[in-house]
Amino acid sequence: MPELPDIVVYLEALERRVLGQALERVRISSPSVLRTFDPPYDAAVGAETRGLRRAGKRLVLEFPEELFLVIHLMVAGRLRWGAPGASVPKKVGLAAFDFPTGSLILTEQGTKKRAGVWLLRGEDSLTAEDRGGIEPLEMTVEEMAAALRAENRTLKRALTDAHVLSGIGNAYSDEILWEAQMPPTLRTAGMTDEQMEVLHGAIRRSLTGWTDRLRQEVGEGWPEKVTAFRPDMAVHGKFGEECPRCGAAVQRIVYANNETNYCAPCQTGGKILADRALSRLLK
């Protein structure tokens, strides 16, 4: 799922192309992508794009009269930029938004069709769609500590909970925990003030560092390679490979459809955490 750095770079690329431009047409290829019906999906046609913002992992395009076009990519949704009126791919295309400068095309691989489009009127309606997590790059250490300690859970789960922190998912939480040298199973209620300071710094370094890397990669172009698995990540998606800090093999915990990756010497004092999937297999 595209997370904060990916969404920021998407928005910056969009801003260079559509800010100040009128939305000329909306083409829907898969009706399941529409998550609202009032206002109608084409209510913003003819209106000028006044601004862009991020709401968690959602992209928001702002139009006059407090109209907001919201796009949530979920796991497999991606955005393409094409020439004006570019065709929507038949198998993976969900929708297209046409501007004088080009067409923003929403696609999704697979059959689950989780990506969605909302058209909302009013800031209150937009706020209602927000999960309420605090902004990771704007929060103070104290704000973060209060949010994490409000409920005693594992640090990995807290980092990826949109009600706690905004915009962090499975991939960047792994990188943050590796940066902080903390185990994913650390309980938040028992974290010390010193640990909170370390985590706060790791969040800022990881998210700003990755956002800067993606910006440099994209330049003035379009983000074509939005993926949760990048070759220069430290541990995420690197099970069995060498940790870039200590050289030990990266470990994993598999649960449901997710996988947590970590380095045992760097993050758990060398302890290999129980892998639920492997435990079930071996009974």
- The mean pLDDT value of the chain amounts to 95
Residues 56 and 130 sit within 8 Å (Cβ to Cβ):
yes
The full set of domain ranges for the chain reads 4-129, 141-282
Q: What does the pLDDT average to over 81-93? A: 96
127-157: per-residue pLDDT in tens? Answer: 998 888 999 999 999 999 999 999 999 999 9
pTM: 0.94
Q: Which band of pLDDT confidence, cut at 50, 70 and 90, is reported for residue 24? A: very high
Is 235:259 a contact under the CB 8 Å cutoff? no
> In this model, does residue 277 exceed pLDDT 70?
no
Give the integer Cα–Cα distance in Å for 132 and 134. Answer: 6
Task: Report how far residue 184's alpha carbon sits from residue 52's, in angstroms, rounded to the nearest whole number.
Answer: 33
Q: pLDDT digit string (tens) for 53-62?
A: 999 999 999 9
Phi, psi of 133, rounded to the nearest 5 degrees: -70, 150
Q: Under CATH, which number does the domain 141-282 receive?
A: 1.10.8.50
Hey, what CATH topology would domain 4-129 get? Answer: N-terminal domain of MutM-like DNA repair proteins (3.20.190)
Segment 180-194 mean pLDDT: 97
Which range, of 9-13, 20-24, 144-148, 224-228, averages the lowest pLDDT? 224-228
Which pLDDT value is given to residue 282? 36
Give 46-105 as a DSSP string: T-B--EEEEETTEEEEEETTTEEEEEE-TTTEEEEEESTTPPPPTTTEEEEEEETTEEEE
Per-residue pLDDT band at 122 (split at 50, 70, 90): very high
pLDDT surpassing 50 at residue 283: no
Is the pLDDT reported for residue 44 higher than 70? yes
